[in-house]
A and B are shown apart, each in its own frame.
Chain A
Amino acid sequence: MTLVFGGLGGEKKLSYGERLNLKLLGPWSEKASEGGFGLRSLWRKYLWLVGVAEENERLRREILQLQAELARLKEKEKAYERLARLLKVSSFVEGEVVEAQIIGKPLGSWQAMVVINKGIKDGVLPEMPVLSAAPRKGAALVGQVVAAEDHYAKVLLLLDPSSAVDVLVQRSRQRGILRGQGKDVCLLDYVPAEADVRENDLVITSGFDGVYPKGILVGTVKRIYPGRLKGLFRPIEVEPAVDFESLEEVVVLQKKPKK
């Protein structure tokens, strides 16, 4: 019982047995996952080349569009920096990040979590936000660290039913709680039925939950249920920006409040 439940209250939030397991099987699992990702990469890059020419052409066009957009955004960024200096608004978080690789996935379970190969000795602690690259959208939220060992950590994904994130709809600033459902889409809850939310609106973190810094991209509104299905509120489906199926690498955002 001590091995199964002992030590959960500590800084690592892992039981003694789980710590032992991660020490023993972490390196093995890492090798197996590396082999799997390698095989998948080989398949995608060298064997499955259907449609690559068309995709190259599309990507070239997209690069031109993105370059134009980048120039516009750089101008906006400079304007924002000037305004921030003027208003003495500073970011809550200093952007120290730790890059990590996914080395373990759930074994026959509905819980959405992964094990990464960075832990307390690399500066990864519970309740740190985890991000990853989102296709054509920069960095987006993956979830949060829920437990950590010296060299490994457990990450709870946005899709897990235990996950809840305080978010904003970027366009209308409407606030809600994004909850995992266990499937590929999350539910944006506690949004009033009269709220101004439209399909394809971007959803970002609000920063009010104290776990995730404000302004991290979470996903896009996919479907809005008509009427008041849940009392005063209107449930909304949000598609996460990150593709969890092909997730291999993540970054952990180290939260360090400014002195």
Chain B
Amino acid sequence: MRVLIYHLLLLLVFLFYQFLAAVFSPPLFDPFFPLLLGGLFWRFPSWHLFLAVFFWGLVNDTFSFLVPGSSVIAYAFGLFLFWQLKRKLALRGFFPALVSLLISISVCELLRLWIIPVLLELPLPVPGFYFIGRLLLGTLTWGFLCWVFCQFSLVRNFLEISSTV
């Protein structure tokens, strides 16, 4: 059931994002990565998480990039980094975990929007720091909001989110 809710949530976010993009213009944040990070806390089999990373990374590439691969690679790396920060550095508690979330999002988004496109020799927008910076800021805000949402005890209980992963 939790797995189904997780995948449905990602699908709903995708549909809502496209709905908002049609009404106004595309919102300035990456809708998937913070939610994929949240999947780490749901304690379902890891292959579900990898499948979600692969599938939604590829969805992002399909709709957003000329050359596929950047989102898939960046999501996988970002998730791995977050996992390492949590496990190897033994970060526990609200603040250290929040910091590791912000670091992972920043690294993943910079990889996705800047480093991989540069390696693939795609021309960047001018000025690059403005376009990449506002997307990074938007994703950090979105990630923070997701994080705050998951801190409500009602949500924690409903999603069975562990506080000690």
B61: which of A18, A40, A110, A248 is its contact (CB, 8 Å)? A18
Mark A95-122 against chain B: 1 for CB-CB distance below 8 A, else 0: 0000000111111111101010000000
> What residues on A are CB-neighbors of B132 within 8 Å?
110
Q: Give complex CA distance A25, B11 in Å.
A: 9
Report A203 CB to chain B, min CB distance, Å.
19
Which residues of A from 17 to 76 have beta carbons under 8 Å from B? 17-18, 21-22, 25, 28-29, 31-37, 39-40
> What residues on B are CB-neighbors of A17 within 8 Å?
58, 62, 68
Whether A107 contacts B72 in the complex (CB less than 8 A), given A25-B59, A161-B124, comes out as no
Main secondary structure of the interface of B (DSSP, over half): helix
Of B20-28, B87-95, B96-104, B150-158, the one with at least 4 CB within 8 A of chain A: B20-28
A156 at the interface (CB under 8 A from B): yes
Residue in chain A with minimal CB distance to B30: A108
B125-A182 in contact (CB<8A): yes
A162 at the interface (CB under 8 A from B): yes
> What residues on B are CB-neighbors of A179 within 8 Å?
123
A109-B14 in contact (CB<8A): no
Whether A146 contacts B66 in the complex (CB less than 8 A), given A4-B58, A108-B31, A108-B60, comes out as yes
> What residues on B are CB-neighbors of A107 within 8 Å?
14, 17, 26, 30-32, 59-60, 63-64
Q: Give complex CA distance A146, B68 in Å.
A: 13
B52 at the interface (CB under 8 A from A): no
A21: which of B11, B30, B59 is its contact (CB, 8 Å)? B59
Whether A161 contacts B122 in the complex (CB less than 8 A), given A36-B21, A107-B30, comes out as yes
B15-A28 in contact (CB<8A): yes
Of A22, A103, A111, A183, the most chain B CB neighbours within 10 A belong to A111
A5 at the interface (CB under 8 A from B): yes
Of A3, A4, A5, A146, the most chain B CB neighbours within 10 A belong to A4
> What residues on B are CB-neighbors of A21 within 8 Å?
55, 58-59, 62
> What residues on B are CB-neighbors of A8 within 8 Å?
68
Q: Give complex CA distance A161, B122 in Å.
A: 8
> What residues on B are CB-neighbors of A14 within 8 Å?
62
A111-B65 in contact (CB<8A): yes
Chain B contributes a number of interface residues (CB within 8 A of A) equal to 45
Q: Give complex CA distance A182, B127 in Å.
A: 9
Which residues of B from 101 to 155 have beta carbons under 8 Å from A? 113, 122-126, 131-132, 135, 138-139
Which residues of A from 124 to 161 have beta carbons under 8 Å from B? 146, 154, 156, 160-161
> What residues on A are CB-neighbors of B24 within 8 Å?
40
A32: which of B16, B54, B126, B135 is its contact (CB, 8 Å)? B16
B29-A162 in contact (CB<8A): no
Of B31, B54, B61, the most chain A CB neighbours within 10 A belong to B61
B21-A105 in contact (CB<8A): yes
B68-A18 in contact (CB<8A): yes
Report A4 CB to chain B, min CB distance, Å.
5
> What residues on B are CB-neighbors of A34 within 8 Å?
22
Report B13 CB to chain A, min CB distance, Å.
10
Whether A28 contacts B11 in the complex (CB less than 8 A), given A107-B31, A109-B64, A110-B125, comes out as yes
A/B interface sample: 20 pairs, CB < 8 A? A3-B54, A3-B58, A5-B68, A29-B15, A32-B16, A32-B18, A32-B19, A33-B21, A36-B21, A39-B23, A40-B22, A40-B23, A103-B18, A107-B30, A108-B64, A108-B138, A110-B125, A110-B135, A182-B131, A183-B125
Task: Please give the residue numbers on chain A whose beta carbons come within 8 Å of chain B beta carbons, in ascending order.
Answer: 3-5, 8, 14-15, 17-18, 21-22, 25, 28-29, 31-37, 39-40, 102-111, 113, 115, 146, 154, 156, 160-162, 179, 181-183, 187, 245, 248
Given contacts A35-B19, A107-B64, 8 further A-B contacts (CB under 8 A): A36-B18, A36-B19, A40-B23, A40-B24, A102-B22, A105-B21, A108-B64, A110-B125
Task: Please give the residue numbers on chain B whose beta carbons come within 8 Å of chain A beta carbons, in ascending order.
Answer: 11, 14-32, 54-55, 58-66, 68-69, 72, 113, 122-126, 131-132, 135, 138-139
